[in-house]
Amino acid sequence: MRRVFSGIQPSGIPHIGNYLGALKNWIALQNTESALPPIYCIVDLHALTTLSGHPQQLRQLTIESTASLLACGLDPKKSIIFKQSSIHHHTQLAWILSCITSSGVLGRMNQWKSRQKTHNSTLGLFSYPMLMCADILLYRSTDVPVGDDQIQHLELARNTAEIFNRTYETDFMKIAELILPSESGACRVMSLREPLEKMSKSNQSEYSRINLSDMPSVVKSKILRAVTDNESRVSFEPDTRPGVSNLVSIYGSYSDKTIEMVCQEFEGKSTHEFKIALHDLLIEKLYAYQTEYQRIMEDKGYILNVLEQGRKQALEIADENMKQILEMTGL
Ligand code: ADP
Ligand code: NA
């Protein structure tokens, strides 16, 4: 049976990159009949790489992230939604896996190389991908829906599974497959200010990303300020016109249209006219999310209960698998 697993950091309100790159797929995958319930994890241990020393904020962001997932359409009756730190097996397995992984491999991870420049290069940041491997392998996951910034980390998880299987002469660990957004989906949404960088919760400028919580006036000003170039036509040429191309891709993803359809729709129109259509579309799409988010945030007890029920379901699977892993490793 297939098992879907993915995670999101509670390091800030999800942005449209998180939604188009990952969450949209998470929701679609809830309805696969022939598979086990998908497991979606709020990876608060990963978020500690940027939120150490801010316990209140981390706690609050964990609640808000959970509410965001529910507001996007995740259904706790169909999916297992829980907090990473509530299952101790994740860190335990991360250690076991780190004992069969070469530190050179981790040193070559792109995210490590780029974040090292802007963050404190802690040991946690360095071994971040190892914990992600543990998340995936612990549930013997077969399908991992993520944005394309995570391809390298997923490849590491696949390799680590193989190394584990070789080391312990077993086929216990599954080699998970990457699930990227389909044709009309944006695999990687870029920053609105620096279109060569990905949109991220950790981008410096607020204007670089559109959060799912952004009010209409904010969406409007962020889109109007989005970096384009001195040509006014609407086209998709990521290499030479990354700014406009990113906006075209966002428009296509949100309206379920292909890139070609979007370019055709705006043939002969200016980038300014296109931007107006884009902010109107986003405002409409975000409205539904925002009303749902506000409703859910009024009942904190409900949110905590979702995480608690999810913890119980995840624990059952994790316990069973960990028992076998400990047996195999001799611990
Ligand atoms: P962030 O990088 O903003 O902190 P996370 O690390 O929590 O986001 O990633 C959560 C999910 O969102 C992952 O599957 C990741 O691939 C996806 N994702 C993050 N940023 C983008 C982006 N700019 N475009 C597409 N997908 C993204
Ligand atoms: Na990330």
For the chain, give every domain's residue range: 5-181+300-329, 206-294
**Which ligand has the shortest distance to the CA of 12?**
1
Ligand 1, atom 4, lies closest to the CA of 201
What mean pLDDT is predicted for residues 311-327? 98
The CATH topology of domain 206-294 is: Tyrosyl-Transfer RNA Synthetase (1.10.240)
283 Cα: distance to centroid of ligand 1 (angstroms): 21
* Total-model pTM: 0.93
pLDDT of residue 183: 61
Tell me the three-class secondary structure of 184-227, residue by residue. Answer: CCCCCCECCCCCCCECCCCCCCHHHCCECCCCHHHHHHHHHHCC
Ligand 1 atom closest to the CA of 22, numbered from 1:
14
Amino acid 187: pLDDT = 77
pLDDT at 33 over 90: no
Average pLDDT estimate for 279-292: 97
Q: Quick one: average pLDDT of 263-285?
A: 97
Which ligand has the nearest atom to the CA of 199?
A: 1
Pocket of ligand 1 (CB under 6 A): 8-9, 11, 17-18, 21-22, 146-147, 149-150, 188-189, 198-202
pLDDT in tens, 175-204: 999 999 876 566 799 999 999 999 998 888
What is the whole-number distance in angstroms between the Cα of residue 329 and the centre of ligand 2?
30
Q: How far is the CA of 168 from the centre of ligand 2 (A)?
A: 31
pLDDT, tens only, 86-126? 999 999 999 999 999 999 999 999 989 888 877 778 999 99
- pLDDT value at residue 201: 86
From ligand 2's centre to the CA of 251, what distance in Å? 22
Closest ligand 1 atom, CA of 14? 3
Q: What pLDDT score was predicted for residue 84? A: 98
Looking at the CA of 11, name the nearest ligand. Answer: 1
Q: What's the confidence (pLDDT) of residue 184?
A: 57
Which ligand sits closest to the CA of 50?
1
How is residue 276 written in tokens?
A: 């107006």
DSSP for 228-259, written as a single string? --S--S----TTT-HHHHHHHHHHHHHTT--H
Considering only residues 118 and 56, tell me which one the structure prediction assigns the higher pLDDT. Answer: 56
Mutational pocket test of ligand 1: of 8, 18, 197, the residue with most ligand atoms within 8 Å of the beta carbon: 18
What does the pLDDT read at residue 237? 95
Minimal-distance CA residue to ligand 1 atom 2:
200
C-alpha torsion angle, residues 88, 90, 94, 97 (rounded to 10): 110
CB burial of 125-160 (b: ≥16 within 10 Å; e: otherwise) equals bbbbbbbbbbbbbbbbbbbbbbbebbeebbebbbeb
User: Any idea what DSSP says for residue 37?
Assistant: P
Domain 5-181+300-329: give its CATH code: 3.40.50.620
Read off the amino acid at residue 159: N
Cα of 66 vs centre of ligand 2, distance in Å, is 17
More confidently predicted of 144 and 116: 144
Give the span between the Cα atoms of 211 and 13, in whole angstroms.
Answer: 6
Of ligand 1's listed atoms, the one at least distance from the Cα of 146 is 14
- Between the CA of 221 and the centroid of ligand 1 the distance, in Å, is 23
The whole-number average pLDDT for the span 288-307 is 97
The pLDDT value recorded for residue 185 is: 63
CA–centroid distance, residue 329 to ligand 1 (Å)? 33
So what's the ipTM on this one? Answer: 0.95
Task: Summarize the confidence of residues 119-137 as an average pLDDT.
Answer: 93
Q: How confident is the model at residue 51 (pLDDT cuts 50, 70, 90)?
A: very high
146 CA to centre of own chain: 6
Atom number of ligand 1 nearest to Cα 199 = 23
